[in-house]
Amino acid sequence: MPEGHTIHRLASRHRKLFAGKPVRVSSPQGRFEAGAKALDGLMFTGALAHGKHLLHRYEGDRTVHIHLGLYGKVTDGDGAPPEPFGEIRLRMSNDAHWLDLRGPTACELLDPPGVEALLARLGPDPLKRGADSIAAFAKIARSSRPIVALLMDQSIVAGAGLIFATEALYRAGIDPTTAGRDMPADAWLPLWTDLRALMAAAVIAGRIDTVREEHTPEAMGREPRVDRHGGEVYVYRRTGQPCLVCGTPVHQDALGGRNLYWCPTCQS
């Protein structure tokens, strides 16, 4: 599932392609037909992201809520849209650009109360100005769940997935299995600040890199990481490989149906 930086990149891209212009909207697949008809020809006023949720704004206080989930994919291009193929839930176009959405977990038309309800159930997004880190920690400090699970809980921190949570905890030297209520209060703000910086860098770069300058392939004289996820990381999907800092083999375990990665030395 795409992490929050990807959704922020999509929002920026969609503003660039469509904002301030009327948009033709359709649903070749048919599953968003009623919503598409309600929006067709309206002005696209903007796009924003909150965590892993993408919101398309139209005139008249109409909003399309998109959640890509595990299988959702957005493609776009210049000129006239191609002949539809596959399961296109949502198609947008103007005279210069087109966009297709396939396979999302959610694609729904919301009124203002619906948008308010959606945002109310999400935690603060580190990528948004003024995000309330104190509110997030208040929930964490009351929980017996592992801190890594809490960081991925979208009702607590919106936008962080396994990669960001795993890597931020490594960089902070925090055992990912630490119960939220056992997290020292003075460790939270540095962790939040670093998480926000990692996510912001990923928005710019278009990929997740978490290693510090002294641990890059160039600095260490090692081969770049080869993985479909891309990016240079400390522990994510590096099971059994030596920690880039201490040399201890990276451990992997299961946590709530997800794989968990950490260095038992650096995060002891």
The answer to whether the CB of 27 falls within 8 A of the CB of 34 is: no
pLDDT over 90 (residue 234): yes
Q: Which of 24, 28, 52, 91 is catalytic?
A: 52
Q: Compute φ and ψ for 107, nearest 5 degrees.
A: -150, 100
The answer to whether the CB of 107 falls within 8 A of the CB of 69 is: no
Give the pLDDT confidence of 21-58 residue by residue, as tens digits: 999 999 999 999 999 999 999 999 999 999 999 999 99
Q: Which of 206, 152, 155 is nearest to 5 (CA)?
A: 206
Task: Verify whether residue 126 is a known catalytic residue.
Answer: no
pLDDT at 228: 82
- pLDDT-based confidence at 229, cuts 50/70/90? confident
**Beta strands, E only, 79-116:** 88-93, 97-102, 106-110
Q: Which of 3, 124, 171, 176 is catalytic?
A: 3
SS3 (DSSP) at 223: coil
Average pLDDT over residues 223-242: 93
Q: Which of 2, 124, 146, 176 is catalytic?
A: 2
Task: Verify whether residue 37 is a known catalytic residue.
Answer: no
pLDDT at 257: 84
DSSP 84: P
SS3 (DSSP) at 198: helix
Could you give all domains of the chain from N- to C-terminal order, each with its CATH number? 4-120 (3.20.190.10), 133-262 (1.10.8.50)
Give the pLDDT confidence of 150-186 residue by residue, as tens digits: 999 999 999 999 999 999 999 999 999 999 999 999 9
Give CA separation, 198 vs 85, 167, 205, in Å. Answer: 36, 9, 10
Residues forming beta bridges with residue 90, ordered by sequence position: 101
The four Cα atoms 202, 205, 208, 210 give a dihedral, to 10 degrees, of -90
What is the CA angle 108-110-113, rounded to 5?
A: 150
pLDDT at 168: 99
The answer to whether the CB of 129 falls within 8 A of the CB of 235 is: no
Q: Which of 13, 15, 128, 258 is catalytic?
A: 258
Task: Verify whether residue 128 is a known catalytic residue.
Answer: no
Average pLDDT over residues 85-105: 97
Task: Verify whether residue 16 is a known catalytic residue.
Answer: no
Q: Which residues contact 56 (CB under 8 A, 6 or more apart)?
A: 14, 44, 47, 63, 64, 66
